[in-house]
Amino acid sequence: MSGPAPDPLRGASCLVLGAGGFIGGHLCGELRRRGASVHGFGRRRSYPEALEGVRWTMGEFADRAALARAVDGAEHVFHLLGGTTPESSNKDPVADLQAGAVASLHLLDICRAAGVRKVVFLSSGGTVYGIPRSVPIHEDAPTDPISAYGVSKLAVEKYLHLYRHLHGLDYAVLRVANPFGPWQDPDRRQGVVPALMQAVLDGRPPEIWGDGRVVRDYLYAADAAEAIAEAAAYAGPHRVFNVGSGVGRSVLDLLRDVGAALGRGTDLTATHKPGRATDVPVNVLDTSLVRREMGWAPRTGWAEALQATAAWLRGRTAR
Amino acid sequence: MSGPAPDPLRGASCLVLGAGGFIGGHLCGELRRRGASVHGFGRRRSYPEALEGVRWTMGEFADRAALARAVDGAEHVFHLLGGTTPESSNKDPVADLQAGAVASLHLLDICRAAGVRKVVFLSSGGTVYGIPRSVPIHEDAPTDPISAYGVSKLAVEKYLHLYRHLHGLDYAVLRVANPFGPWQDPDRRQGVVPALMQAVLDGRPPEIWGDGRVVRDYLYAADAAEAIAEAAAYAGPHRVFNVGSGVGRSVLDLLRDVGAALGRGTDLTATHKPGRATDVPVNVLDTSLVRREMGWAPRTGWAEALQATAAWLRGRTAR
């Protein structure tokens, strides 16, 4: 007469590096809901309301002493620190490699010295594969990024594999598709969803890079956070997972649906800017592994997710 | 009535970075034989006889100004610079990444600014794949290195792909198996072939890491050099090539054949040292791509290659 197994995250000590960011806020909330003790570390805390009940330490990723103090005592370390974007990374690949891979290597040394149980790394499903030979993209597909951002994400994945082999440090890599939702800053070029929405709310023509036929896999951030949290609890044999909706939508599709979500009709017209060299023409992830292994699936419908994002942006604009 | 096409390397200006090393010496000789104008750059020139007819510049890979001067005017740049070994890299992965990937990124920036036609990069068929799921290993197999050396080689491969995409800089990656032959220093832990031979020549018991069942793909360096040179001339669609013998031999097999090559019989006994964490159990490369695309195949027989290596070591010892 045993009941359901207790949640392994209940009472677990979780450190979220990059907690002050967009995904970090959603992840902290999800970990709190699962009963974990959550400590956030990062450069800034743009939306303190996202971090309710979370112990907070402000610090730089490059500050190894501060990082070591934060890691001390953590069972699970969620590595969401980045700092660059695919577009900015190509202007200075060396800086991107230093900020991404070198800093991550220092983190792994700290984690193994501290006896961390598992490192969960937020990789990038949108960049590590580069231009796919076919979609949806399976985890075993070739990885040939067309941004330095993707190369350094990939290098961190490889170092995680190496540290497990050499030092027994367990890990999970989540190659997350294009996330969107509340707390994604529309002004920081982080994502196309809030950028389009904010333009419409401001009465500006939305801007699109290229012809708008670029296809992406958009995932609501709260759903992404569920997968990231679950990866810490997961005890199976796999370590690298795609996390996405599995649905491809063009930017033009997105614009139509954004118009509908904002009640502005489905025929918004956009200003087209030149395409970017870092944009792969299509990216849709095969998510069968994470669905099968973790029992995870996105729970938020597309329209509902857009509505929630729009509501947050409206509230933010109104402040 | 056209004759055979002229060799595209005849008269071509070739810069060999790392020319003073073991493979560099063989490559310079091969390029000279094909009529190229050869400029060597490196930290040291251990065997000047390997660089006859080669213009030589002594310099550090980290010295960007010196590197830029060397690259200026070169059509083909052969990137053989490394400096670390798989074993040493795991003691300091950050230093390995700086010496390998960061320095290579600077090199690529220099090459694209100088209008270099093609960069040929010596990668590592023995480390980039990690522990293979099956052998022989195809170029499309998963790449999960178990040494930091392998991770930084892989990162350089990815940056080459990126720079071609972003800047049109052409390249070839050669994942070369375990090379051996003259000019491979038996004292520098570069390779097991000269280490075993030198021990036997010195009357010491040869030392083997682990039980000697580790299987490797050994390739004679002069044959490797032919593939590396040909990669500069190759104009087909592929860019990443395995280069190996395609034959797997255990260290115990090797020891038997080394004994025979040195005329010491086939029953030499070795001292066994603990296995190394960086040693994959087996590594044999599938070389069908380079054979088909470049018409390359190793030309030196196994016994002949061992004899030539032994002759060089004997001559060196006698000096």
| Catalytic residue, candidates B129, B149, B218, B220 | B149
Contact, B116 vs A182, CB < 8 A? no
**What's the CA gap between A39 and A30, in Å, rounded?**
13
- Cα B314 to Cα B17, B185, B196, B254, B317: the distances in Å are 28, 12, 13, 18, 5
Instruction: Give B10→chain A minimum CA distance, Å.
Output: 33
Candidate from A93, A146, A162 with C-beta closest to B105: A93
Nearest of B13, B3, B25, B11 to residue B183 by alpha carbon: B25
With bands split at pLDDT 50, 70 and 90, how would you rate the model's confidence at A11? very high
Indicate the class that CATH gives domain B13-183+218-245+281-299. alpha beta
User: If you measure CA to CA, which chain A residue comes closest to B97?
Assistant: A102
pLDDT of the residue at B319: 60
Given the structure tokens 């959603």, which residue do they identify?
A26
- Tell me the chain B residues in contact with residue A148 when contact means C-beta distances shorter than 8 Å: 159, 162
**What's the CA gap between B256 and B261, in Å, rounded?**
9
Interface check B198 vs A, CB under 8 A: no
Q: Is the ipTM of this complex over 0.85?
A: yes
pLDDT of the residue at B262: 93
pLDDT 10s digits, A287-307 = 999 999 999 999 999 999 999
Contact, B142 vs A140, CB < 8 A? yes
CB contact under 8 Å between B145 and A161, yes or no, is yes
In the predicted model, what is the mean pLDDT of chain B? 94
Question: In this model, does residue A190 exceed pLDDT 80?
Answer: no
CB contact under 8 Å between A162 and B105, yes or no, is no
Residue, of B84 and B155, whose pLDDT is higher: B155
pLDDT 10s digits, B4-27 = 788 999 999 999 999 999 999 999
Interface check A43 vs B, CB under 8 A: no
User: If you measure CA to CA, which chain A residue comes closest to B106?
Assistant: A94
With bands split at pLDDT 50, 70 and 90, how would you rate the model's confidence at B58? very high
Contact, A175 vs A240, CB < 8 A? yes
- Give the three-class secondary structure for A173: strand
- Residues with Cβ within 8 Å of A104's Cβ and at least 6 positions away in sequence, in order, are A79, A81, A121, A156, A159
The arithmetic mean of pLDDT across residues A249-263, rounded, is: 95
Q: What is the dihedral of CA A113, A114, A120, A124, to 10 degrees?
A: -50
pLDDT 10s digits, B85-137 = 888 889 999 999 998 999 999 999 999 999 999 999 999 999 999 999 999 99
Catalytically active residues of A are 149
pLDDT of the residue at B116: 98
The percent of residues in chain A predicted with pLDDT above 70, rounded, is 98
pLDDT of the residue at A28: 98
CB contact under 8 Å between B147 and A162, yes or no, is yes
Helix (H) / strand (E) element for A25: namely helix A22-33
pLDDT of the residue at B2: 63
- Cα B315 to Cα A80, B198, B308, B309, B319: the distances in Å are 57, 12, 11, 10, 6
The arithmetic mean of pLDDT across residues A203-209, rounded, is: 91
Interface test with B, best of A109, A158, A280 (most B CBs within 10 A): A158
CB contact under 8 Å between B162 and A155, yes or no, is no
**What's the CA gap between B286 and B241, in Å, rounded?**
9
Interface check A275 vs B, CB under 8 A: no
Question: In this model, does residue B290 exceed pLDDT 60?
Answer: yes
Evaluated on CA atoms B44, B48, B52, B55, the torsion sign reads positive
pLDDT of the residue at A46: 85
With bands split at pLDDT 50, 70 and 90, how would you rate the model's confidence at A277? confident
Helix (H) / strand (E) element for A5: namely none
- Residues with Cβ within 8 Å of B270's Cβ and at least 6 positions away in sequence, in order, are B196, B205, B206, B207, B208, B212, B255
Interface check B137 vs A, CB under 8 A: no
Interface check B102 vs A, CB under 8 A: yes
**What's the CA gap between B215 and B127, in Å, rounded?**
13
Evaluated on CA atoms B106, B107, B112, B115, the torsion sign reads positive
With bands split at pLDDT 50, 70 and 90, how would you rate the model's confidence at B250? very high
Specify which residues B56 forms β-bridges with.
Answer: B40
Q: Is-catalytic flag, B149?
A: yes
- Tell me the chain B residues in contact with residue A277 when contact means C-beta distances shorter than 8 Å: 165-166
**What's the CA gap between A14 and A28, in Å, rounded?**
9
pLDDT of the residue at B276: 83
Q: What are phi and psi of A261, to 5 degrees?
A: -65, -30
Interface check B158 vs A, CB under 8 A: yes
pLDDT 10s digits, A148-165 = 999 999 999 999 999 999
Q: At A46, list the tokens.
A: 């743009």
Candidate from A97, A161, A165 with C-beta closest to B101: A97
With bands split at pLDDT 50, 70 and 90, how would you rate the model's confidence at A82? confident
- Tell me the chain B residues in contact with residue A140 when contact means C-beta distances shorter than 8 Å: 142
Which own/partner pairs from A260-267 qualify as long-range (CB within 8 Å, at least 24 positions apart)?
A260/A303, A260/A306, A261/A197, A261/A303, A261/A306, A261/A307, A261/A309, A261/A310, A262/A197, A262/A200, A262/A201, A262/A310, A264/A200
- Residues with Cβ within 8 Å of A54's Cβ and at least 6 positions away in sequence, in order, are A16, A19, A28, A32, A38, A39, A40
The percent of residues in chain B predicted with pLDDT above 70, rounded, is 98
Residue count of chain B, please give it. Answer: 319
- Tell me the chain B residues in contact with residue A98 when contact means C-beta distances shorter than 8 Å: 102
Please count the other Cβ atoms lying within 10 Å of the Cβ belonging to residue A269.
10
With bands split at pLDDT 50, 70 and 90, how would you rate the model's confidence at B308? very high
With bands split at pLDDT 50, 70 and 90, how would you rate the model's confidence at A268? confident
CATH match of A13-183+218-245+286-291 with 1.10.1060.10:
no
CB contact under 8 Å between A162 and B148, yes or no, is yes
Question: In this model, does residue B1 exceed pLDDT 60?
Answer: no
Output the pTM of the full model: 0.95
In the predicted model, what is the mean pLDDT of chain A? 94
Q: Sketch the domain layout of chain B as residue ranges.
A: 13-183+218-245+281-299
**What's the CA gap between A198 and B157, in Å, rounded?**
39
Please count the other Cβ atoms lying within 10 Å of the Cβ belonging to residue B48.
11
Instruction: Give A145→chain B minimum CA distance, Å.
Output: 7
Instruction: Give A163→chain B minimum CA distance, Å.
Output: 8
Contact, A221 vs A183, CB < 8 A? yes
pLDDT of the residue at A319: 61
The 3-state secondary structure of chain B reads CCCCCCCCCCCCEEEEECCCCHHHHHHHHHHHHCCCEEEEEECCCCCHHHHCCCEEEECCCCCHHHHHHHHCCCCEEEECCCCCCHHHHCCCHHHHHHHHHHHHHHHHHHHHHHCCCEEEEEEECCCCCECCCCCCECCCCCCECCCHHHHHHHHHHHHHHHHHHHHCCEEEEEEECEEECCCCCCCCCCCHHHHHHHHHHHCCCCEEECCCCCEECEEEHHHHHHHHHHHHHCCCCCCEEEECCCCCEEHHHHHHHHHHHCCCCCCCCCEEECCCCCCCCECCECCHHHHHHHCCCCCCCHHHHHHHHHHHHHHHHHC
